[in-house]
Structure 1
Amino acid sequence: MSLRGLRYFLVAAETVNFRRAAEKLFITQQTLSAHIQKLESRYGTPLFERKPHLRLTPAGHCLREYARKAIKLEELFLAELADVTDTVTGRLNVGITGFRATIFMPRIWEIFHAQFSNITPSMTEAPTARLDELLDKGQLDLYIGVDAPVRKNTEAWTLSQEKACCIASREFVRKFFDEDLLRKAERGLEISDLIHLPQVGFSRGNTLRESLDIYYQERGLHPRVVFETSRHDLALRFCEQGCGIGFVYQMSLYDLLQKDRARTDLRVFAVRNDFPPKHTMLVYRCESYKPRYMTGFVEAARKVFKEYSDSIDGIIAGAMAQGEK
């Protein structure tokens, strides 16, 4: 039995389309069909019904479950080999959401690679729901997501808890903030204080956007949104250009303020409204065997996020104080 053939079969079973499966595997459709036919010949039964449309037979459904187990067993074997010898290379499939990859993954990799240079992390960026689905399918070893669902077959660590704040360029503040608003800003702004100002917002599906929408709907308020994006870096850029105010979680500002606090034109204001806290979490499956290098990655991630949690309040406070000068 060829593990390669089983891997090809699993992709075909997932896509239920030989052409798309072949494209995903970077092989020809003819090569894929040959591997499927070898499996069908070996087991003496069709694995797919070809007409009226492609679908798994009962035998195909059965093989899919055993194929997943067989491939997982090989992965566990290779993981144990990588633990006992540096001459065996391994791969750690890591998922992470959006801009967290840019902010945190280089530092996590630096710590991890110093200990496990024979292991290659392979990163997938996607929303938390998709990462959780990939973990459940066995296509990820672990992921870093937001308010991730915790299941009976998973373990999770909370890496950080986020606070919301308001940002605007210095020029925007000079143009739109009167003396009364500046006095309020010293104590922290209410969202209702800013409803008349142009706003750079996030697209639907963003957790902070959802909290703001609930706040506006409950009070019958209508914000003046001039631009929407799903990208945090783009929202920051538009706010720096003076297009409007923005509501962001502190993590969005971490890299910018840590490296370029003196150069950024952004002012940062505390928000007095209570938003539901956002938790960054690391999630992995409960396994009978957890490779040493996987534990090493978890420890590296926890260390990097602790560095962040220990410093972010001070960085934000420094940015607020600098903005008042």
Structure 2
Amino acid sequence: MPLQSLKYFLAAAEEMNFRKAAERLYITQQSLSSSIQKLERQYGVAFFERKPRLILTPAGRSMVEYVRKVLHTEQQLVAALADTSRTSTGSLRVGVTGTRGAVFMPRIWDVYHRQFPNIVVTTVEASTAELDELLRDGKIDLYIGVNVPRHNNMQVLTFMRDRIYCAFSRRFLAKAPPAWREALLDPHGFDLTKIDSMPLITFTHSNGLRYTLERFFEKQDIHPNIIFETSRHDLVLKLCRQEHGIGLVYEMILYDVLRRPDIADELYAVPVRAELPQKNTELTYRMESSHPRYLQGFIQVAQAVFEEYSQTIGAVIRRARK
């Protein structure tokens, strides 16, 4: 039972189309079909019903589960053997949601690569739900997401709470009406119910924060004065540095921006005060009897980077409020 045949079978089962599976594997459709037929003869069962359309038989569905376990075990073996050498080599598949990847992966990678220079890291950007499915299917080794689902065979590490801030320029504040200034400079934070007719620079509807804010506005019967929409976090902050409106962003988006003194002198950042669902940035991975050293190393580096972030973000934000 060559592992290659199992990989061919799994590709066909996942694609439910021999032509697409063959293209994915860079082999001919005839080679794929022949390999699967040999497996079926070896075990004396049919894994697929070919007509009227391709579907898995009960034996095929069982085979999928066992093949995934076998291939996952083989990956663990490769990783364990790599760990026996003086210089670890291997690959690590890391899932991450888009924003967190842009903010945290450069720092994580910088530290990690110094410790494990021979490990090839491949990142997969997707939603938390999509990454969770990839992890359970063994297609990634771990992922960083938001409020990740809990499973019996998964370990979850909570790194931080994603707080929401209101960002605006000193020029905007200077020309704002007294009521706006009072609300924005409230020492207890910006009461989101007082957003009133303030010009709002925000994200498009596909953004998770936009969805959260819309649910809040609907509940409070608030109709925000949206003047600009974009999917780009950097553009929101660039526009907030002008004098035309305010932006509502997650704290982590401000981190790199406000560490630059020239921008910190232009931009205010105040915490938002509102009853909103709590969002936590979390890392999750499979609970195994043992993990390769380089996977453990990545988890430790990620923990250290997020701890550094938690210790410094307060000072960065406070400087921007002076």
Question: d(CA) in 1 for partners of 2:296 and 2:96?
Answer: 17
Tell me the CA shift for residue 206 of structure 1. Answer: 4.2
Tell me the CA shift for residue 216 of structure 1. Answer: 1.6
From the superposition, tell whether residues 287 and 168 of structure 1 become closer, same or farther in structure 2 (CA, over 3 Å).
Answer: same
| Corresponding residue SS for 1:95 | strand
Is residue 168–residue 240 contact of structure 2 (8 Å, CA) maintained in 1? yes
Q: Which amino acid aligns with 1:291?
A: P
For residue 215 of structure 2, what is the aligned residue in structure 1?
A: 214
Q: Which stretch shows the higher mean deviation, 50-59 or 35-44?
A: 35-44
For residue 106 of structure 1, what is the aligned residue in structure 2?
A: 106
Tell me the CA shift for residue 37 of structure 1. Answer: 3.1
Per-residue CA deviations over 1:53-100 (Å, capped at 9, x if unaligned) read 111122322221221121111111111112211456311111111121
For residue 278 of structure 2, what is the aligned residue in structure 1?
A: 277
Question: d(CA) in 2 for partners of 1:172 and 1:26?
Answer: 57
Query: 2:174 aligned with 1:178, yes or no?
Result: no
Query: 2:9 aligned with 1:9, yes or no?
Result: yes
Is residue 88–residue 116 contact of structure 2 (8 Å, CA) maintained in 1? no
Question: d(CA) in 1 for partners of 2:21 and 2:240?
Answer: 43
Q: Which amino acid aligns with 2:22?
A: A
For residue 234 of structure 2, what is the aligned residue in structure 1?
A: 233
Aligned length: 319
Q: Which amino acid aligns with 2:20?
A: R
Question: d(CA) in 2 for partners of 1:101 and 1:214?
Answer: 26
Pairing of 1:106-185 with structure 2 (within 5 A): 106-175=106-175, 177-185=176-184
Question: d(CA) in 2 for partners of 1:198 and 1:180?
Answer: 14
Q: Which amino acid aligns with 2:120?
A: T
Query: 2:55 aligned with 1:51, yes or no?
Result: no
Question: d(CA) in 2 for partners of 1:27 and 1:246?
Answer: 51
| Corresponding residue SS for 2:185 | helix
From the superposition, tell whether residues 55 and 317 of structure 1 become closer, same or farther in structure 2 (CA, over 3 Å).
Answer: same
Tell me the CA shift for residue 22 of structure 1. Answer: 2.8
Tell me the CA shift for residue 228 of structure 1. Answer: 3.3
Tell me the CA shift for residue 25 of structure 1. Answer: 3.0
For residue 78 of structure 1, what is the aligned residue in structure 2?
A: 78
For residue 311 of structure 2, what is the aligned residue in structure 1?
A: 310
| Corresponding residue SS for 1:156 | strand
From the superposition, tell whether residues 227 and 41 of structure 1 become closer, same or farther in structure 2 (CA, over 3 Å).
Answer: farther
Is residue 89–residue 119 contact of structure 1 (8 Å, CA) maintained in 2? yes
Q: Which amino acid aligns with 1:202?
A: F
Query: 2:237 aligned with 1:223, yes or no?
Result: no
Q: Which stretch shows the higher mean deviation, 127-136 or 268-277?
A: 268-277
Tell me the CA shift for residue 205 of structure 1. Answer: 5.7
Is residue 201–residue 229 contact of structure 1 (8 Å, CA) maintained in 2? yes
Which structure 2 segments of 5+ residues have no match? none
Query: 2:202 aligned with 1:201, yes or no?
Result: yes
When normalised by structure 2's length, the TM-score is 0.90
Question: d(CA) in 2 for partners of 1:235 and 1:20?
Answer: 40
| Corresponding residue SS for 1:13 | helix
Is residue 185–residue 270 contact of structure 1 (8 Å, CA) maintained in 2? no
Question: d(CA) in 1 for partners of 2:201 and 2:39?
Answer: 55
